[in-house]
Structure formats: C-alpha cells, structure tokens
A = this chain, B = another copy of it.
C-alpha cells in the first residue's frame, strides 16, 4: 500500500506539496505540479491513510449511530437515512445496537470516543436511568470538547433533540381519527414507562382523547416492552382486565403487529370486532393482513436530517431544532365499531 511519500517521490515534489494536492487542501499549487501529483497517485493506486489524517485532525470522517437494535425496522430505516447522507460526504457509519442496555451503551460510546469519530447520533430514545444519563452526559461533554458533533433523534434526559418527530401530535391525530370512526373506548398499548419517547406518545394519546371529547380511563392504558411480545401481552392484559374497548392504538408498529397476531390467535376479528392502529409505518405495516393503519413517520428523512445536522455542527453553524411531521395512514385494520348504530358512525 503506497504512502504519500512514494507519491511525492514519483511526482518529484515534497510530501507537503503532494499532501496539498491529494487532500484537496485550500492552498495554491501550480497546475502542472498538481497534475504530476495526481498522475503519480493514480499510477500507484494511492489510497490515503485515514488514520494518519485522523490522528492529525483528532477526528475521522465516521459517524456512530446508537440504536436499540438494528433488526428493528424503525432503526434500520433511520440508519439507512444516515448512511445515504453520510456517503455523499465521504463519511462511514458505525452501527451500535445497544439493546438499551446501559453497559452496552457505555461500552459503545467508549469505543466511539477511542476512534475519535466525528459524530455520534443517538437514534434511540433516552432511558430514564439517572446513573446512565450522568455518565452519558460526561461522555457527550468529552466528545464535544474535542470537536465531535452529538445529535439526538428523539427525546432524552440531556435536553431537546436536534431533530425529531412529532410523537405527541402523531398519536393524538390517530386517536382523533379513531374517534372520528366512532370509537369511544380506545385502549392504548403505551410501551415501557422508562422511555422518554413512550412518554411523549402517551401524552399524545391523552391529548387526542381530550381533543375528541373522550374521557380518559387509566385501565385502558397498558405498559409493556416495545416489541411484538409486548403487543401480544398487552392484548392479554386488556382482555384479562375485563374493561370494554373497541379500538387499540399502539405506541409503535411492533406492538400493533404483536397485537394483531395475538388477536388472530384468539379468533378476534380485526377490524370487525376491534380496530388496531400502530405508529411509525415500518415497511411491513402495509403487508400484514389486514394491512395496518398507522402513523407515518419519515424515518429515512429523520436519519438524513440527523446527518445534515452533524455536518452543520461540524462546520460550527448548528441548524435550529426541527420536528418532522407525522401523518395518519388509514388501512384495513381500522373501521367503525360494529356495535355502533349506523347513524352515528363517522360523527365524532
């Protein structure tokens, strides 16, 4: 693997000049000299050493993305958005599936620091874990100190996210849509209590209820983990409690998928017996049967904007905070409640 020294030698110039040419530095080099260096680099198949350059600059063109789990379609989509934007700028993307495990998260941040990555994007929501957050704050300060950009894509303990999605408004809109179909008893699979994003969505549920003039009933709110199993467990909890409901809004699509599967097992028809709605609009939401009504969140966009913010931060001109819109998408899993007299359907 040839180094800049060899390129310089072949071109008959100093390594300083060679460096200026190949690194596209903003520094005058005569056209013929430049051409000779470029030619030498080409014939030697020169690939600059990013580590040497990074050591100099205390920074490599790499962005780390901390996600809950890359196999969760939500995060895969966000990471893809980051990747696409990053590729355009010659940045590489490191994915870190922390499983929301403080130890794993800690370890990943440590490794990213040791790599002197130019930026870290926290794609997952913050956990309400004071000890972890304190340590994270230390690391984040440490990273910013040496010039790294830190960007959050969802609510967390350390401040406002730089880019995020309208969680509260999105869920509220879905609840209003369900109310608009005639539902009065709308249950909510709220996800874990310890996650800030889940709290925002729960707030959205309450807001939607208020907007629709419906009364809140805490027995209709079930907390479970944010996955398929949680959705199934939520359905069981709801049915076990004996409380009446005609629709289930879910804080994310994975919960809705789990709920759909469990209801099918139980022989409960969707949407005939109960309506189900998700949140996120991951790719499979359109492929389930019945297809899932949900709230579309521009996830890839979220990743792209996250990286855009990184670039602005690195350039010293941070963009103002940004909240991406969420939009209700009604598919087959929601309908007017069966028990309702036809006349009242559709009037909220």
Q: Give A39 Cβ to nearest chain B Cβ, in Å.
A: 19
Q: Cβ of B76 and Cβ of A70 under 8 Å apart?
A: yes
User: Which residues of chain A in 281-313 are interfacial with respect to chain B, using CB atoms and an 8 Å cutoff?
Assistant: 283-284, 286-290
Partner of A76, one of B1, B48, B71, B287: B71
Chain A 50-91 interface mask (CB, 8 Å, partner B; 1/0): 111011001010101000011101001101100110010010
Tell me which residues across on chain B come within 8 A of A80, comparing CB atoms.
69-71, 97
Q: Report whether over half of chain A's contact residues are helix, strand or loop; otherwise say mixed.
A: helix
Tell me which residues across on chain B come within 8 A of A260, comparing CB atoms.
287, 289
Q: A70-B70, A70-B76 are in contact. Are A47 and B287 (CB under 8 A)?
A: no
A261 to B284 Cα, complex, angstroms: 11
Tell me which residues across on chain B come within 8 A of A138, comparing CB atoms.
45
- A-side residues, CB < 8 A to B, are 1, 45, 47-52, 54-55, 58, 60, 62, 64, 69-71, 73, 76-77, 79-80, 83-84, 87, 90, 92-97, 104, 107-108, 110-116, 138, 142, 145-146, 228, 257-258, 260-261, 264, 283-284, 286-290
Tell me which residues across on chain B come within 8 A of A287, comparing CB atoms.
228, 257-258, 260-261, 284, 288
Tell me which residues across on chain B come within 8 A of A79, comparing CB atoms.
70, 95
A111 to B90 Cα, complex, angstroms: 8
Q: Give the residue name and chain of the B residue nearest to A117 (CB).
A: B92
